[in-house]
């Protein structure tokens, strides 16, 4: 029996995935639900050691998907049912946790670690999503890295960390949004466009997710690839 998908909490990501072909939505939903699950571990107010324990559990569970059937855990079942058959391994999914590990304790995070976080979390997530969409020629890696850095900047209460993350993200997102995205890749491109908006916002500006302006910008990208 096909596992039920974990609902994505972020409304803009949910809207972006609705632009994907129907046969790719379950896989994309599982991928972004995994990212949300890992992010919730870091924002749960626990001690870094406890967060590391939970991330280590997910790392082992994801890696084991390559050798065994998933346990009765809905997200692991969804990943096994929808993502692995499309050529993304459990080990590749587990490697995204390497990025979260780098920002588990924000006091302080070196610039080099931010770059590695961006590649491990965002670059690998978007690369996997691009595989689900058969989007090969779009600037997926730059989009994913920039998106991950801006998301971190919006999550953290550390002003210096947020500023550094945005500074690294800015050129990546300019690169990611310069070309016209293919129709296949536009669900991912929408997230890059929103990340560029957030990257350019004044420090401390609250994201108004789901606002008419942001939804309209996503729809325009969906129509034009710009």
pLDDT tens string 115-154: 999 999 999 999 999 999 988 799 999 999 999 999 999 9
Q: How confident is the model at residue 2 (pLDDT cuts 50, 70, 90)?
A: very low
Domain total of the chain: 1
Instruction: Give CA–CA dist 164/149, Å, rounded.
Output: 9
Q: Does the pLDDT of residue 105 top 60, yes or no? A: yes
Tell me the average pLDDT across 44-52.
79
Q: Does the pLDDT of residue 224 top 70, yes or no? A: yes
Any domain includes 216: yes
Q: How confident is the model at residue 206 (pLDDT cuts 50, 70, 90)?
A: confident
Any domain includes 48: yes
Q: What is the pLDDT of residue 152?
A: 93
Instruction: Give CA–CA dist 92/66, Å, rounded.
Output: 10
Instruction: Give CA–CA dist 146/130, Å, rounded.
Output: 15
Tell me the average pLDDT across 1-17.
73
Tell me the average pLDDT across 73-100.
96
Range from 79-83, 134-138, 221-225 carrying the lowest mean pLDDT: 134-138
CATH (domain of 112) = 1.10.600.10
Any domain includes 36: yes
Domain that holds residue 157: 12-224
Any domain includes 5: no
Any domain includes 2: no
Burial class (CB in 10 A: 0-12, 13-18, 19+), 146: buried
Q: What is the pLDDT of residue 6?
A: 53
How much of the chain exceeds pLDDT 70, in percent?
A: 95
Any domain includes 4: no
Mean pLDDT over each residue of the chain, to the nearest integer:
91
Q: Does the pLDDT of residue 3 top 60, yes or no? A: no
Largest CA distance in the chain: 48
Any domain includes 153: yes
Task: Indicate the DSSP class of residue 66.
Answer: T
Range from 4-13, 61-70, 114-123, 139-148 carrying the lowest mean pLDDT: 4-13
Token reading at 204: 């401390």
Question: What global pTM score does this model have?
Answer: 0.93
Q: What is the pLDDT of residue 1?
A: 36
Q: Does the pLDDT of residue 182 top 90, yes or no? A: yes
Any domain includes 209: yes
Nearest to 14 by CA among 32, 2, 27: 32
Instruction: Give CA–CA dist 142/131, Å, rounded.
Output: 15
CA atoms within 13 A on the CB side of 85: 13
């Amino acid at each position: 029996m096909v596992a039920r998908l974990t609902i994505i909490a972020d409304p803009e990501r949910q809207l972006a995935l609705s632009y994907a072909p129907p046969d790719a939505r379950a896989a994309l939903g599982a991928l972004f639900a995994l990212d949300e699950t890992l992010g919730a571990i870091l924002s749960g107010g626990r001690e870094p050691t406890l967060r590391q324990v939970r991330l280590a559990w997910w790392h082992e569970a994801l890696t084991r998907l390559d050798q065994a059937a998933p346990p009765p855990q809905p997200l692991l079942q969804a990943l096994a049912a929808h993502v692995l058959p499309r050529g993304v391994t459990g080990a590749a999914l587990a490697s995204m946790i390497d990025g979260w590990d780098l920002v588990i304790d924000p006091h302080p995070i070196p610039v080099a670690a931010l770059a590695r976080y961006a590649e491990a979390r965002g670059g690998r997530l978007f690369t996997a999503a691009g595989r689900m969409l058969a989007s090969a020629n779009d600037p997926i890696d730059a989009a994913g890295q920039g998106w991950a850095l801006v998301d971190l900047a919006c999550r953290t209460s550390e002003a210096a960390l947020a500023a550094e993350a945005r500074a690294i993200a800015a050129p990546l997102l300019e690169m990611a949004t310069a070309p016209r995205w293919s129709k296949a890749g536009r669900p991912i491109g929408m997230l890059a466009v929103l990340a560029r908006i957030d990257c350019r916002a004044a420090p401390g500006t609250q994201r108004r997710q789901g606002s008419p302006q942001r939804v309209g910008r996503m729809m325009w990208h969906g129509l034009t690839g710009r």
